[in-house]
Amino acid sequence: MDKIKIKGGRRLEGKIYISGAKNAALPLICASLLTKDTVTLTNMPMLSDIASMNALLRQLGTQIDEFNDFVDGHPSKTYSYRTAEASSLTAPYDYVRKMRASYYVLGPLLARYGHVEVSLPGGCAIGARPMDIHLSALEQMGAKIEIKNGYIIADAPDKLQGAHIAFHTASVGATCNIMMAAALACGTTIIENAAKEPEIADLAELLNAMGAQISGQGTSTITIEGVSALSGARHKVIPDRIEAGSYAVAAAITRGKIELINAQMQTLQNPMQILRDAGVKVSETPNGILVDAINAKLSGQDIMTDYYPGFPTDLQAQFLALMLTAEGASMVTETIWENRFMHVPELMRMGANINVHGHASAIVRGVKKLSGAQVMATDLRASFALVLAGLAAEGETIVNRVYHLDRGYEKLEEKLKGVGADIERIKEADELAAE
């Protein structure tokens, strides 16, 4: 398996281009299943999660064409998706196991074909990941759902019917799935306590361009008037706010200065305010966001994850790593996932001072220095937190299990090298040759 080798202690300075958002792109790809026409997505990030979703759609009978493109002067991918007729209505375990966002095929296929079978995703490193909200909402829309042999088997032979649905939790995945299902249902669907994440507004924008009638996206009440058919559209994926927030921490943790090209301040208000409160200069530029921590003396900050527009759980590990280099104590509280401090024991191996209380909170005390070590993480964002600690640490850090990073950070080494990091990927083959 590939590894990342970092020699820490360098101040990072320059510009990093922020790619299209993974968590926007995944449901957008699945929205293409709602029509027989072509849906073209531009500004697509080159990530293994996108490749996994594309493989699943090909298996369902979607024809996918891939183009090398330039968006805002930067290379990216454009994909065209055409599902004239699905050749399968099953998302098998082997696909769902690799990427749980495979559940996004549930809503679109059920709405278009009246039948779908999706393997249940099961738990994962950050905790149990239930699907009760997705399934209960589909049942309220008239679907018959059965769990058999590890699969969700859903039927709606007489079409899904609009319904008034109140989610018990503002789930991102369920909001996307039900918006897609309701777009082709009979009548009006209202989702109360919908998630408000920017990726949801992006999906609504594509669906509306395809002919859907959705309003209220970005608020906690979304209304969807079902239509009988949707057509093709072309759509540009929004910039990745989590990637932007991660590189903002790279600037802060190395006391450097990075302009995050294309990053959108309005989607990052809460984490950028925490950086400011900690002592980092953060400003909006004509091209994105400038994060300037040169000569900054950082002070510890309390952080609590929350639903958007609160502090994103997907930036918790990165900000926790930053707080190790701040003066004083910080309390980091995780409210979304029950098991999201797996980066802590690895950071301790680098000299961190962290006390985890139960599953939900950690007290982080700033340390004089971190020192490089061999580390590995069990999820994507935790892996990036280890890269960040490695950038700030004295000596060499080797981050194992790089496949997690490849799921969500496009051209990670290239981007960090471009701002002065001493970072390289050790390919498995090189490693074997060296042994």
Q: Residue numbers of the site for ligand UD1 (CB under 6 A)? A: 23, 26, 101, 129-134, 169, 171-174, 195, 313-314, 336-337
Q: Are 242 and 381 in contact (CB under 8 A)?
A: yes
User: Nearer Cβ to ligand UD1, position 314 or 406?
Assistant: 314
- Minimum separation from the CB atom of position 4 to ligand UD1 (A): 21
Residue of 30, 124, 176, 186 marked active site? 124
Q: Are 165 and 190 in contact (CB under 8 A)?
A: yes
User: How many residues does the structure list for the chain?
Assistant: 435
User: Nearer Cβ to ligand UD1, position 26 or 290?
Assistant: 26
- Minimum separation from the CB atom of position 179 to ligand UD1 (A): 13
CA distance 55 to 418: 31
Cα first-last separation, the chain: 14
Catalytic residue list contains 124: yes
CA distance 2 to 430: 9
- Residue 103: count of CB within 10 angstroms of its CB: 24
Residue type present at position 358: G
- Residue 192: count of CB within 10 angstroms of its CB: 12
- Minimum separation from the CB atom of position 229 to ligand UD1 (A): 27
CA distances (Å), origin 29, targets 91, 129, 311, 315, 330: 14, 21, 26, 24, 39
User: Nearer Cβ to ligand UD1, position 19 or 397?
Assistant: 19
User: Nearer Cβ to ligand UD1, position 133 or 382?
Assistant: 133
User: Nearer Cβ to ligand UD1, position 174 or 210?
Assistant: 174
- Minimum separation from the CB atom of position 239 to ligand UD1 (A): 15
For ligand UD1, which residue has the nearest CB?
173
Residue type present at position 392: A
CA distance 200 to 195: 7
H helices, E strands: number in the chain: 15, 24
- Minimum separation from the CB atom of position 295 to ligand UD1 (A): 34
Which residues are part of the catalytic machinery?
124
